[in-house]
Amino acid sequence: MKNTLKLLTIMLAGTISIAKAQDSLKNNQLTISSYVDAYSAMHNTQSPQTEFQPYTAVGARDNSLGVNIAQIGLNFENDHIRSEVIFHAGDIPLATWDSDYQYLQAANVGMKLTEGLWLDAGFFSTHLGTESFLPKNNNLSSIAVLTYNEPFFQSGAKLSWDATDALYVEGWVLNGYHSFVDNNDSKSVGVLVNYNISDNTSITYTNLYGRENDDDFPLKQRRFYHNVYLDQNWGDEVFLTIGLDYATQTNSNIDDIEDNATLFGGLVTARYQFNPKWSITGRGELINDESGFVTGLITDNSGAQRGLELFGATLGTEYRPVEQAYLRAEVRYLEAKDNLELFYDGEPTNSRVEFLITLGFEMEKVFGF
């Protein structure tokens, strides 16, 4: 906690002092933002309120009132430099974040190299995935199990390029998959490419390639993770997102360690906006990681070790009285492969029903100097 506060103070003070020291820097802008999401969740499976439900980070405590996330952010930018620090707490970081940096969501600094080209380094939210881990950035508050197993955060450096009005590109060098501190002497590389086909249609491709095993592991396990998603809307009423993930990892197959393992998954989210305040959203999802190289190994009901195979469906509605606030209610059904009894409802079961209510509010204030 003390280290996090020191880092936040040093980065903000350093950024502002640079701006003050350079008379040539113009158009200084400091943005202070905040966001809170509170929830009430119930599951048909039984677990103590002190424990998190598996395979979810949003509304993760059963039969409980809680806070998914409470965050405050500082963002500075001018014509030449930019810096961001986001400090957070709540059940999402408790369930998923690196314990060494539990209260730090992001901390990075960037420099403009030339028009449209920036270099940034530090801690970031992940560039991978169709959904965000933050409820405010999605049409539903709950996240797909596929999203839960993608990275939430990353550490490294990126080059970002606004190539044209329609094309945006990022290149990344990172410590690894869902990590702030590297577990080996190898770095990972990745890209993000976003292309706006039209005002109503965009497609985004992201990937990450690197070695994920510890240095003392005898085999080299190199992971190549791909994600692609399409966003389509028809006016201000109908919105569609289709996301697909495919990953391979060398020397990781559960039946033959020297063979490659594969993961595939996807989600489809459709939203209908009745009016500016009310909408309804549905989502279908699946994930198949037979060798468990991303989701981890599970003991099935025969005693064998297998990876996660699961599908689910979610239906939710949202009310937005103002742009910055929302009230959502959702119901979700998850079902794993027959022999994967992941949950407990009086007896082991392979399915779970969830009911989630979330209330969120965000705001920001911009200062120019």
67: Cα separation from own chain's centroid = 17
Reduced to 3 states (helix: H, G, I; strand: E, B; else coil), residue 363 is strand
**Interatomic CA distance for residues 103 and 156, integer angstroms:** 18
φ/ψ region of 321 (left if φ > 0, alpha if ψ in -120 to 50, else beta) reads alpha
Note the pLDDT of residue 19. 47
Note the pLDDT of residue 62. 92
Mean pLDDT of 174-184: 94
pTM comes to: 0.90
CB of 369 within 8 A of CB of 58? no
Note the pLDDT of residue 50. 74
Q: State residue 241 phi and psi, 5-degree precision.
A: -130, 130
305-306 and 298-299 strand pairing: antiparallel
Mean pLDDT of 211-219: 91
Question: What is the residue whose two structure tokens read 């099935």?
Answer: 300
Mean pLDDT of 270-280: 97
Q: What is the CATH number of domain 2-368?
A: 2.40.160.10
pLDDT, mean over the chain: 92
Whether 267 shows a pLDDT value over 80: the answer reads yes
Comparison of pLDDT for 60 and 6, the residue scoring more: 60
